Amino acid sequence: MNYKDYITEISDFPKPGVSFKDISPLLANKQIFKNAIEEMGNLVVSSLPQAFQLSIKTVPDYWVGIDARGFIFASALSMHIGGGVMMCRKSGKLPPPVISEEYELEYGTDSLEIKPGRGSVIIVDDVYATGGTMKTTDNLCKKAGYNVIGKLVLIDLLYLHDKDELVQSLVQYE
């Protein structure tokens, strides 16, 4: 299936030079969204170590959704495959206790937070661009006590970053 047919590119949004990938049409079409979730689940499960593949019901303990659109995909994958959902949120959005990490953006700094715990996690987001948010979430999960066993995105903007071998994506732009 060509999911790019359901992703609209908006030039110069949110700032000049950026080509924003609007996933709203994909999310609005229940069958296309369902297919995307099933295929994303298949991608990540097939990339897991053999020990985890033996029992899909136990993989992962949590899907970590990155604020905010990662929540959509983490929740849907949780319902499709199993496991709970953990939220990785911007600073000040989760009640204590939380583990925090600050990171650099092209226009300043930001901070993400997650609740401490343990178990296996797959980090989920809508778009993988420069990799900064994913790397920060990976570090944050490890600091909080989780074992990161995979990373999954709907869209990978390959032209913006070096390859992260753990990142699986359904749609790629080169």
Could you tell me the mean pLDDT of each successive run of 10 residues in the chain, 174 residues long? 97 92 98 97 75 57 97 97 96 97 85 97 96 96 96 96 88 95
Among 137, 117, 156, smallest CA distance to 64 is for 137
| Chain segment 146-161, per-residue pLDDT in tens | 999 999 999 999 999 9
> Count of domains in the chain?
1
Other beta carbons less than 10 A from residue 3's beta carbon: 17
Residue that is written with structure tokens 């420069």 in the block: 130
pLDDT at position 54: 47
Nearest-angstrom CA–CA distance, 31 and 167: 25
- Which domain, by its residues, includes 155? 3-173
User: Global pTM?
Assistant: 0.92
Quote the DSSP letter at residue 107: T
CATH code, domain carrying 152: 3.40.50.2020
Residue that is written with structure tokens 């790397």 in the block: 135
Q: Are 119 and 61 spatial neighbours (Cβ–Cβ below 8 Å)?
A: yes
